[in-house]
Amino acid sequence: PAAGRTFNKPLTLLRHQRGQLGATPFPCPECGKAFAVASRMVEHQRVHTGERPFACAVCGKAFAKSSNLVEHQTLH
């Protein structure tokens, strides 16, 4: 365990380790903001592109993050 914690996914452990070290090897090519994991940088890039690939099947509202769609769906 890292610092007394356990992780159920290798990516979660890697993200934690990089965060502890301050390692952010994935910079956004648009603004330079850097991330510990490439997928977080890709998610961040939607701020610049306006892409919203996660749409609600009920009302059509679209979101940049899948977690925001999941939260929204609890309203229906």
Each domain of the chain, given as residue ranges in start order, spans 10-73
Return the ∠ at Cα 54 (arms to 74 and 46), rounded to 5°: 125
Q: How far apart are CA 3 and CA 59, in angstroms?
A: 44
Query: What local confidence, expressed as pLDDT, does residue 3 receive?
Result: 63
For the chain, give the number of residues: 76
Task: Give the count of beta carbons closer than 10 Å to the beta carbon of residue 38.
Answer: 10
Query: What local confidence, expressed as pLDDT, does residue 53 receive?
Result: 97
Q: What is the pLDDT along the chain (76 residues), one digit of tens a residue?
A: 456 788 998 888 887 888 777 788 899 999 999 988 898 999 999 999 999 999 999 999 999 999 999 999 999 9
Query: What local confidence, expressed as pLDDT, does residue 24 receive?
Result: 86
Architecture of domain 10-73 in this structure: 2-Layer Sandwich (3.30)
Task: Give the count of beta carbons closer than 10 Å to the beta carbon of residue 36.
Answer: 19
